[in-house]
Structure 1
Amino acid sequence: MNTADLGLPVEVPSTALFTDQYELTMLRAALTAGTAERRSVFEVFTRRLPDGRRYGVVAGTGRVLDAVENFRFDPAVLSFLQEREIVDGRTLEWLSGYRFSGDIWGYPEGEVYFPGSPIMRVEGTFAECVLLETVILSILNHDSAIAAAASRMSAAAGERPLIEMGARRTHELAAVAASRAAYVGGFATTSDLAAGFRYGIPTVGTSAHAFTLLHDSERDAFRAQVETLGRGTTLLVDTYDVAEAVRTAVEVAGTGLGAVRIDSGDLLLVAHRVRRQLDELGATDTKIVVTSDLDEYAIASLAAAPVDAYGVGTQLVTGSGHPTSSMVYKLVARAGSDDPKAPLVPVAKKSSGGKTSVGGRKWAARRLDAHGIAEAEVVGTGPVPGGLADRQLLVELVKGGEVVAREPLDAARERHMTARAGLPMSATQLSRGEPVLPTEYVHGTSGSQ
């Protein structure tokens, strides 16, 4: 969901300068060479997953669609390009009328991916496709990294809900995108109000240590919060002495207190002590929320603890050690002339150093074993084998320049849960390992389909 779904006004700035200069200099040179209008196919993929990860998560697709729609060169942008002499007059004129008119296919948001998966395929003229490289990669690399970390954390948490609370640990705009990606990856709520406003994600929040320190006593702070927010609120109990705070919290709110939050110390030990104390005080339904720089490993270590929810910040919004997905955007096929009917010729980078790519316009399908569990990611060119025809992964996102696949954010979130559940059980193990599915290549006879 976004604010348009809610009937709220949305400022839609141009995304045209979310790009690198060489996209525009390539355009300028291609216009001069007469090759700018050649039909081309670009694909987004990653050559490898982050070290030790078993699967990737596609996130940011909805934001990509917005970015493509809003990729416009308005007068202010054109003046900037002219003043810097980045492009010439002919290129400026071409840019002034820019509208992406091609097609985009891709893995639907929330789907899992593996090395070599053609996560997104952008088709059109070279000129209109090459300009989108940087903005597409910027969104997919960031959001997919956050979603992958979120997925690992939600798998470790099991049925216990996760709260995204990392806004203060990253750039203010990245924080909103991170909240969205975390929701796709399995988080239930966010503390970031901009994310709630923009994408309709449920928001939560009560108080910090500063609120307790503001008052003359912890009791005064708890009383003020309960009187304002009700007995179902969450009281922070580790500003001073935890045991004393829990006792005071129940005295103030009664046994119907919603939850207590623990933000420091040995969380496993403290959670057990707090649960025992709450039960002894009759607050058997009061929940325990833990925070304090958690990651998927810390969450897994608390599986046996009497914890009801986790709040995660820094490690989530930084991808839990892997802040990018290392995706690339490569030309894989192009026509031999400007003729729209000219056949596509597969092309690929063949340099050494591990940066080779596979040419040709690709399809992808996921083969299942006899039990319905995924056993391989199959990527190919040419005709799709009959047994995989109904298992294809790419869906049409943009047709003739028009977005055709917008969907509620909850749909991407649900898709991810389904996709992850369809992987082998080892996919959610936190121990380091290889991708849980191998990528198999099937080479057809042509890149021109």
Structure 2
Amino acid sequence: MERTIEGKAETSGPVPRGVAGFAYTEADEEKRRGVRQMKLIATGLLVLAAAVFIFAKVMDHNGHGAWTGYLAAAAEAGMVGALADWFAVTALFKRPMGLPIPHTAIIPTKKDQLGQSLGDFVGENFLSADVVRSRLHQVGIGRRFAGWLGEPANADRVTGEVSTALRGALTVLRDSDVQAIVGEAINRRVSQVEVGPGLGKLLEQVVADGGHRRVVDLVCERAEIWLVANNDSVMNAIAGGAPGWTPRFVDRKVGERVYKELLRFVTEMRDWPEHPARGAIDRFLRDFAGDLQSDTATRARVERLKSEILARDEVQDFIASAWSSLRTMIVGAAGDEQSELRLRARAAILGFGRRMEADERLQAKVDGWVEDAATHVVTTYQRQITSLITDTVAAWDADQTSRKIEAHIGRDLQFIRINGTVVGSLAGLIIYTVYQAIVS
């Protein structure tokens, strides 16, 4: 981990701590040592050019031939190029030799303006709606995402990440808060909606489709089974309700007769779809369905019954406990890789990815959604994003910013000085050669 150095950047001692998280670190100091090495090389070339110039002038003064003029011209131009580039590079970070020359120490004095310009540049060239939309369209996110999601390993990864996030969210939520919200939402929703007409339409459709007949069949079957299994109990109950003055054998005969009639009635109703009792049930249900939709008194009674049911403690306790049961079930299923929930989620993700990979229209829709979302973000929050750049740069210490930037790009800038010396020397040699050719 990098630690902040507190001192001057020119030494290995401490440097001031950075502002707003911007600090001059050991890594910066290491780069700055590389910059100093390149400075020594560039300065060495300048000293070499000066030494060569002096040597050439001495040789020329002592009459050692025309070559001394060429050498002196190359060395002189090299010195000029080196000094000019030294001035240009130095002027970026500080005032050359401490002189208050205009347009020097550009980074320390123009830091805020540079930050503003950088923010404007990013906003205009990177955060514009056209640029973002064009770039995202070229990337083809829908196609890439479909191919990635269609791989089993990636589907497993997405399923695992979603399951982890789901378990974390459900674990953090407090049961009491969720139960209160769920209970309030259910009570409010049910209280606001009149259930009578809806139940009436549902019952009317069920009767029209004959869906209730299976219920009637089941009731008849269960009634027959019960009557057969409780023969004696039924006859004793009938006989026990007879007047005390009737003979016992008469009560027994009446009980047997009633029992047989009940059993016959249930059996016929079970086996005969057109039984009159079945028709009576159909008519009753149709009438009741109509009353639920149009009869004011019936609808009012249903609403009162609904309110009474909702007001019961058992119902409220059931609504409150439903969340706990649901949460436990989901958390357990999300944590089990072989649970039906995880397997179905994985299959759905994998299938979606493969369908999307083969469906260019779906890919285009996904591209459009992503482009619209990204465009909305950059157009809505462009100023906030660019202000992050300008505000951050404005919070930096000017001298420390200059040192940090120089540590990162100073090495390359020193090559400018080296190139200036070399190119200046070659240019001076060429100019002197051309001049000699003209005047000769």
TM-score range, shorter chain: under 0.3
Query: Bigger relative contact order, structure 1 or 2, given CA contacts below 8 A and separation 6+?
Result: 2
As a proportion of its length, which structure holds more strand? 1
TM-score by length of 2: 0.18
Bigger Rg, structure 1 or 2: 2
As a proportion of its length, which structure holds more helix? 2
TM-score by length of 1: 0.18
